[in-house]
Amino acid sequence: MQNSDVEDTIFPSNYSIIAGDKLIDLSTPLVMGIVNVTPDSFYSGSRSESVNEILTRVNDMLNNGASILDIGGYSSRPGATDISIEDEIARIQPAINAISKEFPDAIISIDTFRSEVAKTAIEEGAHIINDISGFGIDPEIADVAGYYGVPYILMHIQGTPQNMQKNVEYNNLFGDISKYFSKKIKILESKGVKDIILDPGFGFSKTIDQNYELLDCLEHFRFLERPILAGLSRKSMIYKKLGITPEESLEGTIALNKIALLKGAKILRVHDVMEAVELIVR
């Protein structure tokens, strides 16, 4: 794929967001690297618990071209064990602090649905809130985004990580998700959130077939005039479909990421940064 293949499409290419004191240009898609400071994320290769492991992983991602680092201390895989706010903060706080000191120019996203965790993360140096719940679990996280003036990634989900795969009923998949986004965008704007990124939530409250239906219509979300994030990396829609494991799902991830780019995705959230960057630049 040539770089121009991504840029010269029917999709708006003038997206940009402000994170910290940096203007992030999304005219060419960017890569967000996943850094899970958890012991139980679904893909074992993404887990980093000690500060040294985290810094090594982050260094590799930045060297391979990651533009954003997404730090998560709560596993949101289907049926994941719930942990306390205190435990989540204890996981992410030293990680973000260490990354901010070691890599002061890095753009950090905090993957959480809890307002207290988001607040702590921002005060430690995070620049973006990535909320899988669309402020449905803790509404105050939207206020945190507005108060600190940080970009907010609005993901679609029905329910919680513990019950989301029991909530997969839709009148019309694209229509229902569009209504969800439209309603929540208005609420976020009323709270002063200026930069909103849309994540349709692959793997969250969706069957395997619904995930592929969603990917097929991804470009239609352009009417909302917000940049789209695609989080497809090594998910069950790939490995269950192919009868393999998450560890064997890199090639499938690359294929779906390419489709997402052609359909207008501006951010790829991935475990494997180098391969995603190569998709964009080659």
Q: Are 74 and 39 in contact (CB under 8 A)?
A: no
Note if 235 is an active site residue. yes
Our CA dihedral for 202, 204, 206, 208, rounded to 10 degrees, sits at 60
Beta strands in the chain (DSSP E): 16-19, 22-25, 30-36, 68-72, 107-111, 128-131, 152-155, 196-199, 229-230, 267-270
| Nearest partner of 28 among 266, 269, 274, 277, judged by Cα | 266
Note if 114 is an active site residue. no
Catalytic residue among 119, 206, 263, 269: 269
- Residue 166's Cβ-count burial label (10 Å; 0-12, 13-18, 19+) is exposed
Quick one: tokens of 72? 């998560």
Residue type, 180: Y
Catalytic residue among 184, 235, 263, 266: 235
Per DSSP bridges, beta strands 16-19 and 22-25 are antiparallel
Q: Are 190 and 166 in contact (CB under 8 A)?
A: no
Q: How far apart are CA 165 and CA 170, in angstroms?
A: 13
Question: What residues act catalytically?
Answer: 235, 269
